[in-house]
Amino acid sequence: MVNYKDLGLVNTREMFKRAVAGGYAIPAFNFNTMEQMQAIVMAAVETKSPVIMQVSKGARNYANGTILRNLAKGAVEYAKELGCEHPEIVLHLDHGDSFELCKECIDNGFSSVMIDGSSLPYEENVALAKKVVEYAHQFDVTVEAELGVLAGVEDEVSSAESHYTKPEEVIDFSTRTGCDSLAISIGTSHGAHKFTPEQCTLVNGVLVPPPLAFDILHEIEKKLPGFPIVLHGSSSVPMEEVNTINKYGGHLEAAIGIPEEQLREASKSAVCKINIDSDSRLAMTAAIRKHLAEHPGDFDPRQYLKPARENMKKMYIHKIVNVLGSDGKLAQC
């Protein structure tokens, strides 16, 4: 058994309380590689922001759970080395799909887990989330559960259609499960193709997607005052990264994300955790494609992973400072 507290990690409880009260959101960045971890830590230290480093089932399959946990341990030490005496870093399981997977992560140094029973019938989702919460809370590990279904297709997370969260269910769900935060569905979705061009409106040559369902979010806030809400699928899919990828040999068509203005607005509400993965993938791929196209003789991975890491760090800092507003929000510097 490895307890996260021995690794210098923290759970989400206190940081969410402060984020809801302060009207900002904590960034939850997915990571699969050392370069992503380094970029996340550099960005969090430079901006003095708490941060959630999250690992999907696909990430564990790719990189190995033990290695990722040790990267998170290294992240705490690295943050201190960079001059942050009291970093607030959460190691979170993203989209856990079974009690066994959540238990394995809790037993192996994770400080927070998500149990995603959102595709199950309501009562089964309640029962599964409750079981995970009962186990996790014995070790002071916090639990995110989900109500409502997000559309989108990735390695391990996929659904063709989205179903908005029903506000009339949230009190019953959070009370009976005892979950610490709730992921909701209000129009975000996973991946870099969140909307079809037909769903968007053309404004000054730019495709603008339909707005998020803020009415549902506000109804949920009224039913659960101060309760931490989570938004998945919140990449903005920056056009400059998509254009760079396409300019240097890529082929990404109709990539459309969530406008940052809407995420800025959501961050001011009870939304206190915003999940971003695709934007990191785009920043990394754009920098690597550009570097290799401009330096065809390079073959040392450090030559192209360094600009990739820099580009991700720039993106993370931008999200923290200009979108989520979590800069300067460490309890102690």
Write b or e for each residue in 269-297: b if 16 or more Cβ atoms lie within 10 A of its Cβ, otherwise e.
bbbbbbbbbbbbbbbbbbbbbbbbeeeee
Binds ligand 13P by CB under 6 A, chosen from 35, 88, 94, 97 = 94
Q: What share of the chain is helix, strand, coil (3-state, %, to 5)?
A: 45, 20, 35
Q: Which of 94, 97, 116, 277 is catalytic?
A: 94
CB of 45 or CB of 91, closer to Zn ion: 91
> Among candidates 235, 229, 316, 168, which has minimal Cα distance to 25?
229
Judge contact between 79 and 98, C-beta under 8 A: no
CB of 144 to Zn ion, least distance (A): 10
| Spatial distance between the Cα atoms of 230 and 30, rounded to a whole number of angstroms | 14
Which residues in 262-281 contact ligand G3H (CB under 6 A)? Answer: 277
Q: Is 11 in the site for ligand 13P (CB under 6 A)?
A: no
CB of 233 to ligand G3H, least distance (A): 7
Residues 70, 319, 56: CA angle, nearest 5 degrees: 35
Q: Is-catalytic flag, 172?
A: no
Q: Smallest distance, Å, CB 156 to ligand G3H?
A: 4
Letter for the amino acid at 154? E
> Considering beta carbons, is residue 11 or 275 the nearer one to ligand 13P?
275
Distances (CA, A) of 163 to 52, 110, 166: 26, 29, 9
x/- letters, 127..166, toward ligand G3H (CB under 6 A): ---------------------------xxxx---------
Q: Assign 328 to helix, strand or coil.
A: coil
CA distance 203 to 294: 34
Task: Tell me if 285 contacts ligand G3H by CB under 6 A.
Answer: no
Using the rule CB under 6 A, is 276 a contact of ligand 13P? yes
* Per CB under 6 A, 37 contacts ligand G3H: no
Smallest separation, CB 190 to ligand 13P (Å) = 4
Residues that bind ligand 13P (CB under 6 A): 30, 94-95, 190-191, 232-235, 275-279
Residues known to be catalytic: 94
Residues that bind ligand G3H (CB under 6 A): 30, 56, 58-59, 94-95, 154-157, 190, 232, 277
